[in-house]
Amino acid sequence: MAPLCLFTACSKNSELADFTSDACSLFPDRSLIDSKDWCACCVEHDIAYWQGGTAEQRLAADEELRACVLEKTADPVLADAMFNGVRFGGSPYFHNWYRWGYGWSDGRTYQALTLEEERLVTEKLIDYYRSDPPSPCGKVE
């Protein structure tokens, strides 16, 4: 790596994988006791995590997840637990399938997307929705 790359965001010719979601990853997608269902909140959160971006964008995505879960469940303890879980476990520095920026092949950390990367994200999401994928949330009765 060139010395300048230590202080700037150097591009590695990374590629963006097609969008995938496993809904709430290592957390239940809905209540096993009642009809509360927050799975759609997790899919929206996965879109943000797949594309990545800045640390501020990650915090905003995590706060949106908490607000969505609270709206769907009226359970502040659950919403806070999910928020704390993604804040701890979703770091881009952990090499797992649900980390911040998991769609990129280069293991990038926090960095703003370029205009070209934003265009690619948009194209991939359009393709994803056009393909009418099965919901990662499954069929809810």
Count how many Cα atoms sit within 13 Å of the Cα of residue 27 in the half-sphere of its side chain: 21
Q: Is the overall model pTM greater than 0.75, yes or no?
A: yes
For the chain, give every domain's residue range: 36-130
| pLDDT per residue rounded down to tens, the chain (141 residues) | 434 444 334 444 579 999 999 999 999 999 989 999 999 999 999 999 999 999 999 999 999 999 999 999 999 999 999 999 999 999 999 989 999 999 998 778 999 999 999 999 999 999 999 999 999 998 644
The DSSP string of 3-18 is GGGGTS-------BPP
Are the C-beta atoms of 21 and 42 separated by less than 8 Å? yes
Rounded distance, CA 82 to CA 52, Å?
19
Query: Can you say how many angstroms the Cα of residue 119 is from the centroid of all Cα atoms in its chain?
Result: 18
Are the C-beta atoms of 14 and 115 separated by less than 8 Å? no
